[in-house]
Amino acid sequence: MNSTKEGKSVIGVSKIIPRHVGEFWTSRQRQASSIHEISYRACFKPQLPRYFIERFSAEGDVVYDPFMGRGTTLIEAALMSRNVIGNDVSPLSRILAEPRLNIPTLEEVEGGLSKIAMSKNSKADIDLSMFFHPDTESEIVSLQKYLAKRKEEKKEDRIDRWIRMVATNRLTGHSSGFFSVYTLPPNQAASPENQKRINATRKQEPGYRIVKEIILKKTRTLLKRIGEDERAVVNAAGTSARFLTADARKTPAIHSESVQLTVTSPPFLNIVQYSQDNWLRGWFNMIDPEAVRITLARTVEKWNGVMSGVFQELYRITRGGGYVAFEVGEVRNGSVKLDEHVIPIGLAAGFHCEGVYINTQKFTKTANIWGIHNNTLGTNTNRIVLFRKYQEGNS
């Protein structure tokens, strides 16, 4: 690992904030667990939370993510025998995260799928013909109804939740490993009108995809590097895992001074359009994306206001000596560096800023989509502001 340390003043902050620049984690340092391989828009790599979990928490400590997304922080923490709490205002986050903290065997999933009768004459209540072959659509609707009935009758179990998670992730994508014809990547859904245009441009029609086979194939991928010992460690953490669907500024379910480490990445200035990206996942899970109250901060000033509330709540729940690793990016082509806005907010809440970790890595197209600034050709950065809540009497 190459790193340099330098200081930088921040507007409104009297002292120089240390900045640590280098390759602190890369995909080569540790091949991430296959259990992470669930797509979710604007998520960070598992190596990022692992770096901070290893250094600033111990086995049995509580690790928290107030914007958990697909659950990367929680799963990495569970892999290291931490207790975990996850929060996200989107109910889809729990659907994607919780099943991977109670990992089944392939045989259990096969058994669960065998109980589901797939109809050949079921139709969705909306037009999905531009995405799915009629027989595939019928199977998806059969699965949707089965899972809804299990939940309504309070019979939903961990295998049902696993199948729901995988199916939610396999609805649409750009390969034969998805239920749909070729479309956008699986972390966002095209509108029906846009999909019709994609089909016309590519001269394609939806082919028949066997839903159960695709669910089993993806399950094999998720489990391919999970040994029995690793499964036991994650599932043990999963027994005490807590999932909240709350505004990150108000989480009364979390006790004061109970969290050792928070590792998170908040929404960045309305870049992600939740209702547009998740309309199809919402349909499958019978969730109205428009009803999910996502706080969209369209200006830096409003974003600062929202994050001020988040940090006040983080200060309440963080125990003395605990840490917050807050990942932010450079957005709007590098004109806005959110770390410079976060530092004063964290200090105002009562935290001390330990520094900014700037991890350089190979440039990716995905990072470019989110407006992460390229410092040099072929690279981009993660920027993580590390805060600490000092114990009373220490500084």
Residue 357 identity: Y
Greater model confidence, 29 or 276: 276
Give the pLDDT confidence of 33-62 residue by residue, as tens digits: 999 998 877 678 899 999 999 999 999 999
What pLDDT band is residue 362 in, cutting at 50, 70 and 90? low
Residue 161 identity: R
What pLDDT band is residue 24 in, cutting at 50, 70 and 90? confident
- Contact status, residue 247 vs residue 89, Cβ threshold 8 Å: yes
Give the pLDDT confidence of 336-361 residue by residue, as tens digits: 678 888 999 999 999 999 999 988 76
The answer on pLDDT for 13 being more than 80 is no
- Contact status, residue 36 vs residue 62, Cβ threshold 8 Å: no
The answer on pLDDT for 127 being more than 50 is yes
pLDDT score at 99: 97
pLDDT score at 383: 87
What pLDDT band is residue 379 in, cutting at 50, 70 and 90? very low
pLDDT score at 363: 44
- Contact status, residue 266 vs residue 44, Cβ threshold 8 Å: no
Q: Locate tokens 């939940």: which residue? A: 151
pLDDT score at 107: 98
pLDDT score at 11: 55
What pLDDT band is residue 366 in, cutting at 50, 70 and 90? very low
Residue 334 identity: G
pLDDT score at 370: 31
The answer on pLDDT for 1 being more than 70 is no
pLDDT score at 359: 82
Q: What is the mean pLDDT of residues 11-15?
A: 62
Give the pLDDT confidence of 192-216 residue by residue, as tens digits: 999 999 999 999 999 999 999 999 9
- Locate 380 and state its tokens: 């981009």
270: helix, strand or coil? coil
Q: What count of other Cβ atoms lies within 10 Å of the Cβ of residue 333? A: 10
- Locate 249 and state its tokens: 């500024």
Give the pLDDT confidence of 218-236 residue by residue, as tens digits: 999 999 999 999 999 999 9
The answer on pLDDT for 375 being more than 60 is no
How big is the chain by its Cα radius of gyration, in Å? 22
Q: What is the mean pLDDT of residues 20-25?
A: 82
pLDDT score at 268: 77
| Strand ranges in 36-153 using DSSP code E only, listed in sequence order | 62-65, 83-87
How does 188-205 read in b/e, with b if 16+ C-beta sit within 10 Å? bbbeeeebeebbeeeeee
Which residue in 60, 85, 69 sits closest to 36, CA to CA?
69
Strands 352-362, 17-22: pairing kind: parallel
Strands 259-264, 318-328: pairing kind: parallel
Greater model confidence, 32 or 387: 387
The answer on pLDDT for 75 being more than 70 is yes
pLDDT score at 334: 58
pLDDT score at 205: 97
Separation of alpha carbons 154 and 75, rounded Å:
26
Give the pLDDT confidence of 76-101 residue by residue, as tens digits: 999 999 999 999 999 999 999 999 99
pLDDT score at 313: 98
Greater model confidence, 276 or 365: 276
Q: Which residues contact 241 (CB under 8 A, 6 or more apart)?
A: 74, 78, 83, 84, 85, 86, 98, 101
Which residue in 129, 130, 292 sits closest to 201, CA to CA?
130
Separation of alpha carbons 328 and 37, rounded Å:
22
pLDDT score at 361: 61
Domains in the chain: boundaries: 3-93+227-388, 106-222
pLDDT score at 4: 60
Which residue in 392, 314, 319 sits closest to 349, CA to CA?
314
Within 13 Å and on the Cβ side, how many CA atoms surround 125? 5
The answer on pLDDT for 5 being more than 50 is yes
The answer on pLDDT for 65 being more than 90 is yes
Q: What is the mean pLDDT of residues 151-161?
A: 97
Q: What is the mean pLDDT of residues 150-169?
A: 97
CA dihedral sign, ordered 128, 134, 140, 142? positive
Q: Which CATH architecture has domain 3-93+227-388?
A: 3-Layer(aba) Sandwich (3.40)
- Contact status, residue 81 vs residue 236, Cβ threshold 8 Å: yes
Give the pLDDT confidence of 272-312 residue by residue, as tens digits: 676 788 899 999 999 988 788 776 677 889 989 999 999 99
Which residue in 340, 327, 333 sits closest to 271, CA to CA?
333
